[in-house]
Structure 1
């Protein structure tokens, strides 16, 4: 199965949970149907990306990266690569590379949220498929070339430092954690 096929399958099985997420899911599926290259950065109409919010649920905190180019506190994530076989694998690879933490584990149940945001030309959109990953106790982060900083934030501080997309991702991640008990 190709990464494109995996993305279609993941999105078809994604339980959107609300009308906006359902609409985004349909937008993503329509994009992939119309763009065989829709997984790749070279697709000028936009492309899927994969990200993961790294969390330490036992301590009630989230690891965010101060993105080098955007200068914003964000979850780990980025472009899919040819070696990625699944969206989940791409999200886990990005989270591991950008956090420097080995042994991250994605929360069960597939993506936590979808987020579509504009980016500068020549491409126009990132269609982000957002997962969440737990870090083991005592995990030590290491800044990558893509970050200016990495920092753990208590859940209640995220709204102060990050945009609404990250805040919504944290809310959905916490709901997923409660659901999985």
Structure 2
């Protein structure tokens, strides 16, 4: 490896070669991984073991797709300009992580905690006092379907009993 353990300064972006530095606001990132999917050179990758997004500056071409694909406002930014020739610039480092959320019915982990909390904050006020819909916000896809079908059956049963 050319750089080794040395700090060899910086290489500036040119007309044909561009270097970028991605930053993620870990507080607002829900780890939807759209930036990872948009990165066509794998400068951004998902680490499923640690449930995190990793970045390697030496691979980034500063295309900006990561920034464009992010659904969260002011969460990902790309600074174009230079690549530091030091060891840290040639390895993946963590930019954001979150814990997985477990379904309140079956316990299966199905999404990040931040994603579930964000969706629940948006949808819960719209659901009013519908306990089934509110509970379904915190369930995996399988349990969500069961809860909603059961709620529909209960409503139909109520209608029949009340005539």
TM-score, scaled to structure 1: 0.25
Q: Which has the higher strand share?
A: 1
TM-score, scaled to structure 2: 0.27
**Structure possessing the higher radius of gyration over alpha carbons:** 2
